[in-house]
Amino acid sequence: MLLLAEIKQGNPIVDKVSEVRHWIKELTVKREELGGFSICPYAFSASVHIEERALSKVTLNEGFDVVVFIVEDDISVASMLQKIAELNMIYRDYIWLDDHKKETTYINGVQSNFGKANLILCQKRNKLLQARETLHKTDYYKYWSEELYNRIVKGIGTP
């Protein structure tokens, strides 16, 4: 069951949080194009916390499987990547991933990123690596492009 919590800071965030919640549900849909896998096979059982924060204020928020930060719309990809690198260096027990709205990603033709706002996702490193190890025992990653695999799977969290 997908558990969600969010901090609402005024009415504009309500729509964004609702849309992120809907996107997370879409990530759990099993798809023929992905060999019967969903984009994120573990999202259905994750406890997810969603909140809006300025990029400069994104920091560790423990107690959830995944924390999704909705950050400013006007930040550059470079700024997000710099912040992600910084967070991954500071909080080594976690993996931080970017989802910039201007960098659309696809897995075998299925859009995998949110695309409506800039997001930063944070997950406990050991849990994510364990899930990846389990998925490597299947043909899940054969649907991923080499570029996306190298960026998401090999780029972060690989010894």
Read off the pLDDT of residues 70-98 as tens digits, 9 standing for 90 and up: 999 999 999 999 999 999 999 999 999 99
pLDDT of residue 6: 44
Each residue's pLDDT tens digit, 41-67: 998 899 999 999 999 999 999 999 999
The structure tokens listed for 4 are 């969600």
Is residue 2 within 8 Å of 43, Cβ to Cβ?
yes
| Residue 106 burial by Cβ neighbours in a 10 Å radius (0-12, 13-18, 19+) | middle
For residues 117 and 21, give the distance between their C-alpha atoms in angstroms, rounded to a whole number. 13
Is residue 45 within 8 Å of 27, Cβ to Cβ?
no
The structure tokens listed for 49 are 């916390």
Is residue 101 within 8 Å of 73, Cβ to Cβ?
yes
Is residue 48 within 8 Å of 69, Cβ to Cβ?
no
